[in-house]
Structure 1
Amino acid sequence: MARPLLRLVQEGRLDLLRDELRPDDVLGSAVQSRHYGRSGDTLLHHAARYGHQDVLAYLVETLGMDVEVFNSDYKRPLHEAASMGHRECVSYLMERGASVDCLKKADWTPLMMACTRQNLEVIKALVEHGANPLLKNKDGWNCFHIASREGHPQVLRYLLDVSPGSWDTESTIKRTPLHTAAMHGCFDVVELLLERCQYKPDSRDKCGVTPFMDAIQNGHVNIARLLLEKHQEGHVHTIQTLLSLGADIHAKDEKSRSALHAACAGQQAAAARILLCAGLQDMPDSTGTLAWQLARKPDVIQVFQETNDSA
């Protein structure tokens, strides 16, 4: 009966499940401690994962299953419900006494799991029940860091409202949420982080990589331009380091803008000079705009005049 029961739970067939499972029979007692597959999930894990709150209630209240039961990765049903964005299941499990900050393997909390998705209502439910946004997993990431990787500005705004210091965090290798957002090309998130958080302009991780370097190395020129505009110093050394590491100097974003466009938009004369000296040619973007056309400051304009004079 194991496989049919599992399928009934996954499909949310409470009517048939009641016919098969009764608290006073042998089968009803057996499923309370039954773990399925290599992951060791119980029926309660599956009900939470598939979002069947009525099945959860039956398993807990009628069959007496423990809301804190864990699988082989120490994952609780609350982890499952939170990671899949099932608000009703999340609320039910917490009302039945599930620990809001329980840890699964690698020290992930349900709130961290919820922040991998964009379901703000689930995140709010967890926080309102006391979930701690400042807890870190084994890699040193808190929920703010995770939401930055996933590119969820609305989640980040909420976390900043309820926990203003959640932005001030580093992973075990000293990477900030700004590093992570820049690396993954999350432009809206980078924009928000620069607006509302106080990251150092050239913060470096343990390998010496800055958010600007992450953006350029991964071809996110629009983010590199934004960082140049907001952070006005230190980028010449960063560009030199990138070039020495063999970064693709000709990388362009989705609008065919190069690092030279970014330097000119940020009015960075020294950065523009080193890019031109390294062999980067001024080519039009998808709108036909050349980098030099973005130059406004006299010293940036002069860089292109010097280049034309020497050509």
Structure 2
Amino acid sequence: MAEGDKPRQLLRLVQEGQLDLLQEELSPAATKDLAPGRSGDTLLHHAARHGHQKVLSYLVEELGMDPELFNRDYKRPLHEAASRGHLECVSYLLERGASVDCLKKADWTPLMMACTRQNLEVIKALVEHGANPLLKNKDGWNCFHIASREGHPHVLQYLLDVSPRSWDTESTISRTPLHTAAMHGCLEAVELLLERCQYKPDSRDRCGVTPFMDAVQNGHIAIARVLLEKHQACPTAVDALGAQALHRAAVTAQDEAIQFLVSELGVDVNERVRSLQHTALHYAAKEGHTHTIQTLLSLGADIHARDGKNRSALHTACAGQQAGAARILLQAGLKDSPDATGTLAQELARKPEVLQVFQESNVST
């Protein structure tokens, strides 16, 4: 075997868990000459990542490798084992004295990484060895926040049992676990959080976004209903710019959510954003969401509505170089407005395909 192939061969044996062959290739003296790869991962990292506890114990006990070795991201073997849900490796490393709350890059602990999965036994092992559920990473998330994103109710139940105040946390931009669960569509988690935690209705993050807005703009209508029924969420609450859930749903093209807000909840389809005076139609046109434009028009959106700069939805479509949106608005009747398709709209149209829409619609330039 060529000298340069030796590290790759050893790495493959570790990843495949072939302990017998590894023992033939390695010796305590040989490990001293093994340089980690670009990531800084050692053979210990790879053994822990792939869940080979026997290989891990051989590397530590027979070859004297330090279980606290870290890579370029300061990730230890315990981080690797915890993040992949390998209970035997986690238990072994903890028994060998691995630091339970060691930090990798961005201040993630092994417990936080374990909470990205639903292996409750791994989480229990870490907690029973002293892991602190209240530690936060650089974004201000603790392990409960992370578990809320993943939406595993049994993990959340356990964390609340061992750390009853773990729910009472906010990220660096003031987002709660309820925001996160609603945003990611974790219905069971949302129901659990509303049942066992004491979040204030319509709590706002730094941008003024509520959990209801998060649910709606991501199309999670079932969660929006639960927040309305069990948490007294306000469907017309506004964010820091004065935008409602309706406007945010128009930006993300959530047509079903828009139907829900307008048809079921009675939200005014022509409601304006306080700061810009945009309607939902302006936002859909700017983003080029043609189907959403059609949905809004079918619900009674005012095609002639002007924003604070006296611009119609057609103007925002042209400014965004959205040919499809401009075509629908022209076909829907905007060309019949005296000045809606005047000089300004066409000045905003820079792309040939947008200008062509005006020509096709027989609008004079």
Kindly state the Cα deviation for residue 252 of structure 1 after the two structures are TM-superposed. 2.1
- Aligned match of 1:182: 182
CA gap of 1:250–1:147, structure 2 versus 1, over 3 A, is closer
Could you say what secondary structure the match of 1:203 adopts? coil
Kindly state the Cα deviation for residue 222 of structure 1 after the two structures are TM-superposed. 1.0
Distance in 2 between the 1:161 and 1:107 partners? 24
Distance in 2 between the 1:176 and 1:129 partners? 27
One-letter amino acid of the counterpart of residue 252, structure 1: E
- Aligned match of 2:123: 123
- Aligned match of 1:14: 19
CA gap of 1:40–1:201, structure 2 versus 1, over 3 A, is same
8 Å CA contact 2:194–2:231 kept in 1: the answer is no
CA gap of 1:132–1:149, structure 2 versus 1, over 3 A, is same
- Aligned match of 2:70: 70
- Aligned match of 2:317: none
Distance in 2 between the 1:211 and 1:123 partners? 27
Worse-matched range after superposition: 200-209 or 235-244? 235-244
Distance in 2 between the 1:57 and 1:246 partners? 53
Distance in 1 between the 2:233 and 2:248 partners? 22
Task: Write the mapping of 1:1-311 to structure 2, written as runs, cut at 5 A.
Answer: 1-23=6-28, 26-31=29-34, 34-36=35-37, 38-232=38-232, 234-238=234-238, 241-242=243-244, 245=247, 247-248=249-250, 251-252=255-256, 258-259=260-261, 272-275=265-268, 281=299
Kindly state the Cα deviation for residue 233 of structure 1 after the two structures are TM-superposed. 5.7
8 Å CA contact 1:221–1:257 kept in 2: the answer is no
Kindly state the Cα deviation for residue 101 of structure 1 after the two structures are TM-superposed. 0.1
CA gap of 1:241–1:2, structure 2 versus 1, over 3 A, is same
**Superposition TM-score, scaled by structure 2 size:** 0.68
Distance in 2 between the 1:274 and 1:4 partners? 64
One-letter amino acid of the counterpart of residue 249, structure 2: A
Identity rate, percent: 71
One-letter amino acid of the counterpart of residue 142, structure 1: N
Distance in 1 between the 2:70 and 2:238 partners? 47
8 Å CA contact 1:216–1:251 kept in 2: the answer is no
Distance in 1 between the 2:196 and 2:33 partners? 53
Q: Tell me the matched-pair count.
A: 266
Distance in 1 between the 2:51 and 2:233 partners? 50
8 Å CA contact 2:218–2:254 kept in 1: the answer is no
8 Å CA contact 1:118–1:152 kept in 2: the answer is yes
Kindly state the Cα deviation for residue 232 of structure 1 after the two structures are TM-superposed. 2.4
Could you say what secondary structure the match of 1:125 adopts? helix
> What do the CA deviations read for 1:48-67 (whole angstroms, capped 9, x no partner)?
00000000000000100001
Kindly state the Cα deviation for residue 202 of structure 1 after the two structures are TM-superposed. 1.0
Distance in 1 between the 2:111 and 2:188 partners? 22
CA gap of 1:244–1:7, structure 2 versus 1, over 3 A, is closer
One-letter amino acid of the counterpart of residue 220, structure 2: H
8 Å CA contact 2:148–2:189 kept in 1: the answer is yes
> What do the CA deviations read for 1:95-134 (whole angstroms, capped 9, x no partner)?
0010000000000000000000111110011001100000
- Aligned match of 2:288: none
**Superposition TM-score, scaled by structure 1 size:** 0.80
- Aligned match of 1:305: none
CA gap of 1:257–1:53, structure 2 versus 1, over 3 A, is farther
CA gap of 1:244–1:22, structure 2 versus 1, over 3 A, is closer
Distance in 1 between the 2:69 and 2:50 partners? 17
CA gap of 1:237–1:183, structure 2 versus 1, over 3 A, is same
Which structure 2 segments of 5+ residues have no match? Answer: 1-5, 272-295, 301-365
User: Over aligned residues, Cα RMSD in angstroms?
Assistant: 2.3
Kindly state the Cα deviation for residue 244 of structure 1 after the two structures are TM-superposed. 7.3
